Structure 1
Amino acid sequence: MYKPISKNLKSLQHIHFPGITSFQHGLNIQDLLMDQHLAQNALMSKIRRNPIKIDQSELKPIPPTVLTFQFENVYVSGLKSKNQISERDIQNFKSLNSKFFQLNRGGQLTWHGKGQLVTYLILNLKDFTKLSPKCYVNNILLKPLQKVLESKFELSSQFDDLNPGIFINQNKIASIGVRIRHGITEYGTSLNINPDLKYLNTFELCGLKNGKQTSIDENLNNGKADSNKDLNIETIADSYVEQIAKVLNLPDIEKVIL
């Protein structure tokens, strides 16, 4: 478990967007939060260079923020697949009524849309003890998502460093793509709850050579858990945020619905 360095950092902010959100709007909100963190980083650098001694522990840090969405249909390329997407590919995406975005985050081609929970986490790694980029990916993003699958749906899952994401029986149920700038994280995870799987299995996504994309709904209906389990996007988002707050040792969650 990781702990905040500042005694003033006690809460995790959760901003949930109900319904369907445009992908560009989600990016705009994330950019605003990133600007706040980067500005505070610049201020802290000036304070460190100032000969006047200031107790930095008394400065109020910006709380980490989790954004949870259900996006419009979009195919999104990361840096690993940036030079692999052709104009023909983009036209094929449009044939499935999906837009296309090229991002500067890690990862390869993925899809977001109805029936999928997308979670972006913006936090400063330096605000927590011993929180390296690898620990952030594995212990803050992936393992809490596994706990949600296990505790809410009795679904056992796996992940490893060679296959970024979460798998059930070699089928991918959650993807991950992050970017870290000056110690500040952006982007995050996507969890397939009950999407139309044609969007996820028509094209090769996330460099997935073997297996296919799956969902919570598909696994429940295959008899691996109670098919009457709650598949509400917001409820699952709340459970995920609670698990993240627990690992970060943040006792309070401040939720806002926009």
Structure 2
Amino acid sequence: MKNKIIFFKNIGLIDWIKIVNEMNYFTEKRNSFTFDEIWFVEHYPIFTQGLLKQNYSIISKNNFINDIPIVTANRGGQITYHGPGQQILYFLIDLKRRKINIRQLIDIIHILIIDTLKYFSIKSNIKKNAPGVYVNNKKICSLGLRIKKGCTLHGLSLNVDMDLTPFDYIYPCGDIYMKMTQIKEFNFFLTLKDIRIILIKKLAQLLNVKIIKK
């Protein structure tokens, strides 16, 4: 039963620190009877550095860049930016119970984004040894996950309709040549709600579950 249902929460715009605290609490308290959940959120402007952070990943050495805070996250990957208009999905998934490993989940996430973009006639691809999804050699979706107690935390961020300027203040994912893009540049009229509907539909198919709003 627990493998047939995943709850999703459309949380909306929320502080990054608040949602991370809730995510860690959820993972600490969960057990074999806890249903998996996927949280859809947006964040107020913030830079987050993953556990693979490197000194050259950021241009500024302060705790702020142009008044945007820089925080360290307990996820994989390096530095990225979150802001309004970016659809973030946090995957609170029990991998062991679903009998999949982290590599398989990453593959599922890649397919999820590629198929969603394809639905809206946007052709995208992945790159070897560079997690994420790209359009015209620019990154449109970033990944950063962590496993704790056999369960995942964190997830993906898909650029939909946001101010991309803060990405110019950093080296996204630690790559000085990385350029970012977003769905708005290919379809001006799509909204986060439009994208969310298709993401949920595709997730249900890829994970072979019924996704229920909580």
State the TM-score, normalized to the length of structure 2: 0.91
Which of the pair is proportionally richer in strand?
A: 2
2:127 to 145, 156, 160: 160
Q: Is 1:136–2:105 an aligned residue pair?
A: yes
Q: Deviation of residue 115 (structure 1)?
A: 1.1
CA offsets 1:25-53 (integer angstroms, 9 cap, x no match): 1112212221233xx26xxxxxxxxxxxx
Q: Quote the Cα distance in structure 2 between the aligned partners of 1:212 and 1:85.
A: 14
Identity %: 23
Q: Secondary structure at the match of 1:89?
A: coil
Equivalent in the alignment of 1:191: 158
Q: State the structure with more CA Rg.
A: 1
Q: Quote the Cα distance in structure 2 between the aligned partners of 1:30 and 1:8.
A: 19
Equivalent in the alignment of 2:22: 29
1:104/1:70 CA distance change after superposition, 3 Å: same
Q: Deviation of residue 208 (structure 1)?
A: 2.6
Q: Secondary structure at the match of 2:172?
A: coil
Where structure 1 has 5 or more consecutive residues not aligned to the other structure, the ranges are 1-6, 42-60, 221-226
Where structure 2 has 5 or more consecutive residues not aligned to the other structure, the ranges are none
Which of the pair is proportionally richer in helix?
A: 1
Equivalent in the alignment of 1:4: none
- Counterpart mapping for 1:10-25 below 5 A: 10-18=4-12, 20-25=13-18
User: Over aligned residue pairs, what C-alpha RMSD do you find?
Assistant: 2.0
Equivalent in the alignment of 1:235: 194
Q: Does the 8 Å CA contact 1:16/1:234 hold for their aligned counterparts?
A: no
The alignment covers a number of residue pairs equal to 214
Q: Is 1:75–2:47 an aligned residue pair?
A: yes
Q: Counterpart of 1:116 in structure 2: which amino acid?
A: Q
CA offsets 1:152-176 (integer angstroms, 9 cap, x no match): x210111134111110111000100
Equivalent in the alignment of 1:56: none
Q: Quote the Cα distance in structure 2 between the aligned partners of 1:111 and 1:27.
A: 15
- Counterpart mapping for 1:94-243 below 5 A: 95=66, 97-129=67-99, 131-139=100-108, 141-151=109-119, 153-220=120-187, 227-228=188-189, 230-231=190-191, 233-243=192-202
Q: Deviation of residue 253 (structure 1)?
A: 1.8
Q: Deviation of residue 12 (structure 1)?
A: 1.1
Q: Does the 8 Å CA contact 2:59/2:171 hold for their aligned counterparts?
A: no
